[in-house]
Amino acid sequence: MKLTLRVWRQRNPDSPGAMATYEVDGISQDMSFLEMLDTLNEELILGGDEPVAFDHDCREGICGACSLVINGDAHGPERTTTCQLHMRSFQDGDTIDVEPWRAAAFPVVKDLVVDRSAFDRVIQSGGYITAPTGAAPEAHATAVPKPVADTAFEHAECIGCGACVAACPNGSAMLFTAAKVVHLNSLPQGAPERESRVLEMVGQMDAEGFGGCTNTGACATACPKGIPLFSIAKMNREFVRAARKRG
């Protein structure tokens, strides 16, 4: 395939950015989107130009590092991570716009790389438990009903990629924060910090400058792991419960 790429280029956080146009040829439909960008970068390097900076790590849809907005969609036209998006989703001759996450809380570092440390600080504020560490307890020592375990596992699938924020018209992190809160608050191990967890994490989320949730549902639609929209309602109930208890 031959493609026209319009890629966001920005030298550093303080420099203005702009879209740059590149032509790439010989792209296989079996390539992943990141492999296609690798091909582009090889051509740029051979031509003496600076390669396009973009985040990636596992390239297996696990780490969530491959954060790109492709033709206006977080991670592209398929509901998956960018590294698992293949070029068969596009047609020969297509023009593809590639941009970084667009959110006030995710400032651009360079080109397609954004600073997502705001997520780290949200987790640090309450996304943990104080259960004693050491040898693993016997698996059946703490009984957890299957529906509760299923809920916890469903929300533990969140990889913190930020697609929910990038897709949200308000730049809200409610789906991400809800996934982390509901995951731990569902389990008996998370009970000691149940109230403080939701209050601190929501407070930190607001402090980071994420927008408010207006229930458009774009976050859940873009989430590559399928975190459900009702998770936000669950977190809101936890928040009201905790706020009333704290008084």
The predicted-structure confidence for 53-64, as pLDDT tens digits, reads as follows: 999 999 999 999
Q: Residue 15 has what pLDDT?
A: 93
Q: Residue 142 has what pLDDT?
A: 80
Rounded distance between C-alpha atoms, residue 76 and residue 227, angstroms = 18
Q: Residue 132 has what pLDDT?
A: 73
Q: Residue 121 has what pLDDT?
A: 97
pLDDT in tens, 150-162: 999 999 999 999 9
With bands split at pLDDT 50, 70 and 90, how would you rate the model's confidence at 141?
confident
Q: Does domain 3-110 have CATH number 3.10.20.30?
A: yes
How far is it between the farthest Cα atoms of the chain? 64
Task: Count CB-CB contacts under 10 A for residue 178.
Answer: 31
Paired with 23 in beta bridges are 4
Q: What value does the mean pLDDT take over residues 82-92?
A: 97
Among 69-78, 79-88, 118-127, 134-143, whose mean pLDDT is lowest? 134-143
CB contact at 8 A, 115 and 107: yes
- CATH 1.10.1060.10 in the chain, residues? 117-246
Q: What value does the mean pLDDT take over residues 21-37?
A: 97
pTM (whole model) above 0.95: no
Q: What value does the mean pLDDT take over residues 43-66?
A: 95
With bands split at pLDDT 50, 70 and 90, how would you rate the model's confidence at 113?
very high
The residues, any chain, with a CB within 8 Å of residue 219's CB and separated by 6 or more, are 163, 164, 165, 167, 168, 172, 174, 175, 229
Q: Which residue has the higher pLDDT, 53 or 134?
A: 53
Rounded distance between C-alpha atoms, residue 233 and residue 5, angstroms = 39
Is the confidence at residue 109, as pLDDT, over 80? Answer: yes
Mean per-residue pLDDT over the chain, rounded: 95
215 in helix, strand or coil? coil
37 in helix, strand or coil? helix
Half-sphere exposure of 240 (CA within 13 A, CB side): 5
Q: Residue 59 has what pLDDT?
A: 94
With bands split at pLDDT 50, 70 and 90, how would you rate the model's confidence at 103?
very high
Is the confidence at residue 117, as pLDDT, over 90? Answer: yes
Is the confidence at residue 110, as pLDDT, over 90? Answer: yes
Assign domain 117-246 to its CATH superfamily.
Answer: Alpha-helical ferredoxin (1.10.1060.10)
- CATH 3.10.20.30 in the chain, residues? 3-110
